[in-house]
Structure 1
Amino acid sequence: MSQFDFQGIIPILVTPFDDEGRIDSDSLKALVEFNVSSGVHGLGIALGSEIFKLTDPERDQVLKLVVETVNGRVPVVMNTSAPGTDIAVTLSRRAQELGADALMIYPMSFMPTGPEAMLDLFDRLDSATSLPIILQDVPQAPISAEAVRRIALHASRTAAIKVETLPTVAQVRTMAEKVAGQLTVIGGAGGSYMIEEYRRGARGTMPFCSQPEDFVAVWDHLVAGDEVAARDRFDSRIMAINRLAAQDGDLFYHVHKRILQRRGVIAGAFVRSPTCRIDAVTLREIDAMLERYF
């Protein structure tokens, strides 16, 4: 996949596990097929994949399986963020070896040193890989629009900025104003504000992978200039689910995996530790939502 403009719907795949917490390869293959057949424009492996809970061999296993199953039909984005430059370079090199089409990286957050650390990392990546890069602006490692502009001017392979710090709508507007013509601005945070972000210059989003057909439909309406139809589809199919998924900690993992299990895409909804505990009220809310929508 040589060309990737980072526009459109690029869902983040969950990692399916069996009841013992082992990677369920068959479910992951089915999940890829489910999303590709829904018309998505790319697929991502990132924080929404519980990637930080995977061992290095498991990261390789997931990426290799996704790339093989996709078989060039859509681009595959691999998150190679790490607390140290050398680790990020090693992970990025390995991602390219295993067939990733792009990298996604957020600033080092354990001992942050500002944009200079990212400039150094991108210099290192220039000699280690040849993949385009999505720079990620996340709450645990926020990055200003001016810093993004500086990195974009310095590192030519920076192709997009994914905005997830709050308030995301205002941040998208600021990013779009600052890096217009240099980077594609895309949204995240479950795609909860994709319509508002689109109006302000975002040209893609990276939601969860449980409702790809709904997000693709909203996207197609936006591109066609029909915001009324986009809003109707979003409000009727996506909004209530995203609101429920955002209520507590990492509840979103549980919600989206249960949706996929209900839809017959993955076999189980196991979430690796650490994870939030679901109280009885929330469990009833999830069950009611599944009954209503699926």
Structure 2
Amino acid sequence: MSLPPLHGVVPILVTPFHEDGRIDEESLANLVEFNIRAGVHGLGVALGSEIFKFTEAERAQVTKCVIKAANKRVPIVINTGAAGTDLAVAYSKAAEAAGADMLMVIPPSFMPVSPDEIFDYYVALDRAVNIPIILQDVPQAPISPGLALRIADACKTVRYIKVETLPVTGKVAAMSSLAGDRLTIFGGAGGSYFIEEMRRGALGTMPFCSQPADFVAVWDAFQKGDEVTARRHFDQTIMAINRLGAQSGDIFYALHKRFLKRRGIIRTAVVRGPTMAIDPISDREIEELLSLSVPQAQSFQMLA
């Protein structure tokens, strides 16, 4: 099967911060390198990167840093969705000018909008840029299979959709059935349903960036038709971390950042506020999981 330009494992990068809250560009570049060496098929900057907590200057800073560190070795996806059409267009133009390969765009979600308004929003973006757009279907701003197909048929740049509306597996199946020959489907939600999504027509996932080699191993095994190995590896290396990360609030930020800090990839596990306080039991569970999951001998450890 011929795969589209973007497929496979496309992790969403966390944003490393210094203790004082400034963006740690060296850690971010190190994180990009860590993922590329693991064999990922692309990288993204999106909601999992805490972009909704960035200033305009920081959005440009992170985009520039990631694109420079990747150095065209893998496609870079930048999330440019916004509450207003003009703002989303501005973000999208800026990302394209900075060298992004693709955009991922969530529909407006601050105020309720109709399917026709969502359609017009994507048409405006399609007219403003020349690089591929990934639709982002999320619970707070769902995109039905019918609307996704309507948008794709009207917009030359819309070629992908990331499906995250629950139940994810059912939504992936419905999207694949109606729009699978027009849109490449990606799973999201941390990659928790990666195997189930691939069985139903997804050609990739966008998980967190703390376990890239494990996700690539699952992808490789599945592509070879070895679903037993794919399932075994997923359950042994990924499931427990995703399960804990989905436990409550935004605990997943702290979990994945601690994982990366423990491995020496980033300097701190700082999460920008507001962020949920981690209770003592959850804190102990995170540490127990990290002690079992993080290898003792590190083959990639560049930061002190």
* TM-score exceeds 0.5: yes
Match of 1:153 in 2: 153
Aligned to 1:188: 188
Structure 2 CA distance, aligned partners of 1:148 and 1:115?
A: 10
- Normalising by structure 1, report the TM-score: 0.97
TM-score normalized with structure 2 length = 0.94
Q: 1:126 to 1:145 in 2, by over 3 A?
A: closer
d(CA) in 2 for partners of 1:189 and 1:276?
A: 19
CA distance in 1, matches of 2:228, 2:171: 24
| Matched residues, number | 292
Question: Cα distance 1:276–1:287, how it changes in 2: closer, same or farther (>3 A)?
Answer: same
Q: Which amino acid aligns with 2:22?
A: R
1:118 deviates by: 2.9
Distance 2:193 2:285 in 1: 22
Query: Which amino acid in 1 is paired with 2:35?
Result: N
- How far apart are 1:124 and its partner, in Å? 2.2
Aligned to 1:267: 267
- 2:70 counterpart of 1:70: yes
Q: Residues 73-96 of structure 1, C-alpha deviation per residue, up to 9 Å, x if partnerless? A: 000000001000000000000000
Letter in 2 for 1:48: G
Deviation at 1:149, TM superposition (A): 1.1
1:254 alignment counterpart: 254
**Distance in 2 between residues matched to 1:62 and 1:127, nearest whole Å:** 25
Deviation of 1:4 after TM superposition, in Å, equals 6.0
| Correspondence for 2:134 | 134
Deviations 1:41-70 (A, max 9, x none): 000000000000011100000000000110
**Structure 1 segment 207-226 matched on structure 2, within 5 A:** 207-226=207-226
2:203 counterpart residue number: 203
Alignment gaps of 5+ in structure 2: 295-304
Match of 2:9 in 1: 9
1:101-139 C-alpha deviation (Å, 9 max, x unpaired): 000011111223223223322332233210100000011
Q: Is the Cα contact below 8 Å between 2:6 and 2:75 reproduced in 1?
A: no
> Which whole-Å CA distance do the structure 1 matches of 2:203 and 2:210 have between them?
21
Matching residue's letter, 2:220: D
Pairwise CA distance, 1:21 = 1.0
CA contact (8 A) 2:132 2:157 kept: yes
Q: Percent identity, aligned pairs only?
A: 57
Deviation of the 1:152 alpha carbon? 1.1
Q: Relative to structure 1, is the Cα distance of residues 292 and 39 closer, same or farther in structure 2, using a 3 angstrom cutoff?
A: same
- 1:16-31 alignment runs, 5 A limit: 16-31=16-31
CA shift in 2, pair 1:53/1:136, >3 Å:
same
- What corresponds to 1:102 in structure 2? 102
Q: The residue matched to 2:186 in structure 1 has which SS?
A: strand
Return the alpha-carbon distance in structure 2 between the equivalents of residues 221 and 146 of structure 1.
Answer: 32
User: 1:242: how far off?
Assistant: 0.3
Task: Report the residue type matching 1:180 in the other structure.
Answer: G
Q: Work out the CA distance in 2 between the residues paired with 1:176 and 1:25.
A: 38
Question: Which amino acid is 2:291 matched to?
Answer: E
Name the counterpart of 1:44: 44
Deviations along 1:127-185, one digit per CA (max 9) or x if unpaired, are 32101000000111111111111111111211111000111011100110010210001
Q: Deviations along 1:202-228, whole A, 9 cap, x unmatched?
A: 110000000000000000001111000
CA distance in 2, matches of 1:269, 1:99: 28
For residues 192 and 105 of structure 1, the distance between their equivalents in structure 2, rounded to whole angstroms, comes to 21
Partner in structure 2 of residue 118 of structure 1 = 118
Displaced runs of 4+ in structure 1, greater than 3 A?
none
1:247 Cα deviation after fit: 0.3
